[in-house]
Chains A and B, each alone.
Chain A
Amino acid sequence: MALIHLAILLPLIAAIAIGVIYRYYKRLHLGWFVLPVPLIIVIYLLTLVPRVSSNQLIYESLAIMPRIGMNFDVYIDGLGLLFAILISGIGALVVLYSIGYLSHREDLGSFYVYLLMFMSAMLGVVLNDNVLMLYLFWELTSISSFLLIAFWFMKERSLYGAQKSMLITMGGGFLMLGGFILLYIMTGTFSIREMLNQVAAIQESPLAPLAVVLILFGAFTKSAQFPFYIWLPDAMEAPTPVSAYLHSATMVKAGIYLVARLTPLFAFSELWVWIILLGGLITMAWASFNAIRKDDLKAVLAFSTVSQLGLIMSLLGLGALSVVTGANEEYFSIAVVAAVFHLINHATFKGALFMVTGIVDHEAGTRSLKKLGGLLTVMPVSFTLTLITALSMAGLPPFNGFLSKELFLEAMIHVGDANFSALADVAFIFPLLAIVGSIFTFIYSILLIYGVFFGKRTYDTPKEPHEAPALMLISPAILTVLVLVFGFFPNVLSGTIIDSAAMSIMASDTPLETHLYMWHGFANPALWATVFIVITGTLLFYFRDKWMFIYDYHKDRFTLNYLYDQGLIYSRFGSRKITDSYMSGFIRSYLVYIFLFFIVMGILTLLNTGIRISFDDMAPVGIHEMAVVLIILVSIAVILGTKSRMVSIIMLGAIGFSMSLFFVFFRAADLALTQLAIETVTTALFLVCFYHLPKNSRHQERMRFKLTNFLVSLGVALIVIIIGLTAYSNRLFDRISEFHIENVYELAAGGNMVNVILVDFRGFDTLFETLVFGIAGIGIYSLMKLRLNRKDGNNEEHAEESRI
């Protein structure tokens, strides 16, 4: 366990302490206790920067389940380190901001525990070399995101958004796991680094396209790409610090991280390139087009985030494109550098914009653009911050957004130089989409500044707006300063982190020596593209009332949201129908299903393998065994004949105790003890359940009913007997007990083999059985409690809900 493992798990460990502190100490805002955690991590990570930028990569292994290849292998290169610094750095700022944003009245304990959980999960995603662990942390980010979106769970929209994000991202994640398993089948390892050594094996495999599609499902759902972006706008129901952190700066970039990380692996595949390149560009243009008509400030920002993610994604696609087509090496590196640089820039300006939006919401009480306006004189500091960051987002000089945007445009304009095999005629579509997307990006950036701070004061806000306290302004101010610093001195970044990150995306060892600067001369086409974007954008913005009507043609019925909602309703409806068709509510039917299935499977297996029974190796049957069998037979006869339930229960107990006697005869003391204990407890349980059983007697049932029961029980009995005898007669392999007998003392230091198997050799089984046991207990508890409540009648609503 190295220091870096501890750094990843530190938030999780801190979360336990935070939960305890929240319970017993409420005088100080909980955020102050949380703040040191990301700060420590970011300082630690920053100390690693010199090592990584001089190309000394860090690799620390921690064996978890070495047998199946699931190890916590931390691997830090430029890409992972960049993401980790973003996660912990923005995390620290967001925690600071949340201290001002969330008041004491909120459930701060849950909030910070979820936030810390997310931090650990996200660090785990970006610093892991093992795809199984990566998947584990990946889903943990989805879970914490779900919990944070549903933080105000009294609001229906929050629950809707939380469910939506959970369904979409977890569905995608699950498909991604399939992709990882395919990768394992192709390469025989779960380690990304070892997979990189076997690119040739992947290239040849026919499974590669399937793996590409499955993994991209994971990346696209997580990074809210078209057509899966619909969950992100609804996730804005979360508190604003969460939106700034998870849903713009870090979690939604996990998909980008995955694509970047696997680029060296899949860059040979045309499928990979085209999906990313086209998907990214369509997402960018479509989302920025949609952002303009939104009224809610956070919705505008959500669509803008989707659009910017599409931009980064398309740049990564462009990077991979030149590998496929063997195009100019220079544009390849430009695209990758632009992607990395824009990733950083987006985190700075979008984080700041979200925080300022939160300030406006907090101080004015609304986020509706219709109700806001003319706040320039009231909130001058917020205005300055918005102005700088929004212009950076629009891609204007002298801010950092301009630098990366220009690289993006340059790369997109030169895309035609690459050798498109079949698509040479439609290559113009890439610069076109890029420029259209940029124009709309420009318009909504201006709209953000203009709609909130200029125009007439509406005096329509629920609260009287005023400037936010300094505590809330610090974090966006720091990010805005970074926007300026990275704008004027981009080479602070390029030498240290961008180069090494870009190198790890390209899997090359040669230093890039990137030098970023603002002025490339008049001959640079990207400059003229920017000028064109600004002029067109300004014109469109000025005459926006004239053309906004086109949005009316986009009917609700044709949106993806409508599709999602309908799909949800119908899947619920359909599953209910299917369930109703076989869940009759009679335990007897369920038992018939289970046992019929058992019989069918048993017969099929026996037909496959054939029955071979030999009585050679059997022990003689003694008198004591005969006696016990007689007891069992008599008990069964009594059960069949009696009318009293009490008698049948006692007789069932008699059978159970006789069985434990058998275990004693066969010298299985552990089994006998367990059987005795279980028999005692279940008999007590039967007695208690007695009261709930219906009055009608078993002897009133019809003949057909009884006949089915008879046939099913006869079938089960025969199958069990045959299986038992065949298993005993055929020895296909050595007995595993030899291993246990030899190793029970040496490896596990135990004397009782059965127990050592339970707690050590097969401890995993026991662990999950214990979990199942606990879950069953709690499940029965809640079922019983729900039923008891329903009797009162005042819980009608919940009963209704649970039925749906």
Chain B
Amino acid sequence: MKNTLKKAGYNKVQKQMNDVFLQFTAKLVFFIVIMFSFNLFFAGHYTPGGGFVGGLLAAAALILLLIAYDRKTLESMVPIDFRLVITIGLVFAAGIPTLSFLFGTPFFTHQHTYVEIPVFGEVALHSAVLFDIGVFLTVAATALLIIVLVGEADE
């Protein structure tokens, strides 16, 4: 970010960019955005949302942190290897459709059922959610991987 600003003509960028307002707000907004992304993800089957949007928003929340702080701080805040997350996501996306053989149905046939849970009431369980988790993780991790990497290259 620093170099980007410099190149754009903002010469007075300090060595350590510390924007207290931005950082404080980012911390706060991060949680709102990430909760919203989870909400979108889980609500996807009945109302607008889903794995792709949820994943992008989760990535956006982390990118906000990246902009407010820097890469090293982000790494210490979220010590995750995004390549691993991509792998896990792909395993979910490709593995869940295969599991339908266990139920004796063709490839990619989803299973669903309804469960009565005391506090929440009737809850729908759907294997599409597991598939969507794969989409969510892959999308979020790929977007972050690219942006962190490209941002890192200018140091």
Question: Which A positions have Cβ atoms within 8 angstroms of B?
Answer: 1, 62-66, 644-646, 669-670, 673-674, 677-678, 680-681, 684-685, 687-692, 748-752, 754-756, 758-760, 763-764, 766-767, 770-771, 773-774, 776-778, 780-781, 784, 787-788
Contact = CB atoms under 8 A, between A and B. Distances in A.
10 contacts: A669-B48, A681-B60, A681-B147, A748-B128, A752-B49, A759-B45, A760-B128, A766-B131, A770-B135, A781-B145
Given A678-B56, A781-B83, A754 B48 contact: yes
Contact of A681 (B40, B86, B131, B143): B143
Contacts of B142: 773-774, 776-777
A64 B107 contact: yes
B108 interface: yes
Nearest to A785: B149
B14 interface: no
A420 to B, nearest CB: 49
B45 A755 contact: yes
Given A681-B59, A690-B8, A777-B86, A63 B105 contact: yes
Interface stretch (B20-28, B72-80, B87-95, B115-123): B87-95
A674 B143 CA distance: 14
A755 B131 contact: no
B6 to A, nearest CB: 9
Given A748-B110, A770-B90, A784-B153, A685 B147 contact: yes
A68 to B, nearest CB: 11
B67 interface: yes
Contact of A752 (B46, B143, B149): B46
Contacts of A764: 108
B47 A752 contact: yes
A771 B45 contact: no
A651 to B, nearest CB: 15
Interface in B43-70: 44-53, 56-57, 59-60, 63, 67
A691 B155 CA distance: 10
A767 B149 CA distance: 25
Contact of B104 (A1, A674, A748): A1
Given A692-B153, A767-B93, A673 B106 contact: no
A787 B153 CA distance: 10
A123 to B, nearest CB: 17
Interface in B112-155: 112, 124, 126, 128, 131-132, 134-135, 138-139, 141-143, 145-147, 149-151, 153-154
A670 B53 contact: yes
B132 A759 contact: yes
Interface residues of B, number: 59
B47 A770 contact: no
Given A759-B50, A759-B51, A751 B150 contact: no
Given A763-B131, A770-B138, A646 B8 contact: yes
Contacts of A758: 50-52
Given A681-B63, A755-B45, A771-B94, A778 B83 contact: yes
B101 A770 contact: no
Nearest to B126: A749
B15 interface: no
A66 B97 contact: no
Given A65-B107, A752-B50, A777 B147 contact: no
B45 A770 contact: no
B128 A759 contact: yes
Contacts of A748: 110, 112, 128
Contact of A645 (B8, B51, B128, B146): B8
Nearest to B4: A690
B28 to A, nearest CB: 17
Contacts of A63: 105-106
Nearest to B139: A773
Contacts of A766: 93, 131, 135
Contacts of A781: 83, 145-146, 149
Given A766-B135, A770-B134, A677 B108 contact: no
A448 to B, nearest CB: 47
Contacts of A778: 83, 86, 145
Contacts of B89: 770, 774
B101 to A, nearest CB: 6
A673 B48 contact: yes
B128 A680 contact: no
Contacts of B139: 770, 773
Given A65-B106, A65-B107, 12 more contacts: A677-B57, A681-B60, A684-B67, A684-B147, A750-B126, A758-B50, A763-B108, A770-B138, A771-B90, A777-B143, A781-B149, A788-B153
Nearest to A67: B106
A190 B85 CA distance: 38
Contacts of A770: 89-90, 93, 134-135, 138-139
A64 B97 CA distance: 10
B34 interface: no
Given A755-B50, A759-B51, A770-B139, A688 B45 contact: no
A692 B107 CA distance: 44
A62 B107 CA distance: 10
Contacts of B35: none
A328 B16 CA distance: 93
A142 to B, nearest CB: 21
B45 A752 contact: yes
A774 B47 contact: no
Nearest to B124: A749
Contact of A677 (B60, B128, B147, B149): B60
Given A670-B50, A690-B8, A752-B49, A680 B60 contact: yes
A659 B119 CA distance: 41
Contact of A784 (B97, B124, B149): B149
Contacts of A755: 44-45, 48-50
Contacts of B138: 770, 773-774, 777
Contacts of B50: 670, 752, 754-755, 758-759
Nearest to B104: A1
B46 A750 contact: yes
A788 B152 CA distance: 10
Contacts of A690: 4, 7-8
A781 to B, nearest CB: 6
Contacts of B18: none
A674 B108 contact: no
Contacts of A646: 8
A747 to B, nearest CB: 9
Contact of A767 (B57, B60, B97, B145): B97
Nearest to A65: B107
A751 B112 CA distance: 13
A363 B104 CA distance: 52
A780 B149 contact: yes
Contact of B53 (A1, A673, A749): A673
B129 to A, nearest CB: 8
Q: Looking at A748, A777, A787, which has the most chain B CB atoms within 10 Å of its CB?
A: A777
Contacts of A777: 82, 86, 138, 141-143, 145-146
Contacts of B154: 691-692
B76 to A, nearest CB: 20
A225 B94 CA distance: 37
Nearest to A674: B53
Contacts of A687: 1, 4
Q: Looking at A1, A691, A766, which has the most chain B CB atoms within 10 Å of its CB?
A: A691
A674 B52 contact: yes
A784 B150 contact: yes
A64 B141 CA distance: 30
A784 B151 CA distance: 11
A763 B97 contact: yes
B86 A771 contact: no
The 8 closest A-B pairs by CB, nearest first: A777-B142, A751-B46, A677-B56, A669-B48, A691-B154, A759-B128, A755-B50, A63-B106
Contacts of A754: 48, 50
Nearest to A677: B56
Contacts of A681: 56, 59-60, 63, 143, 147
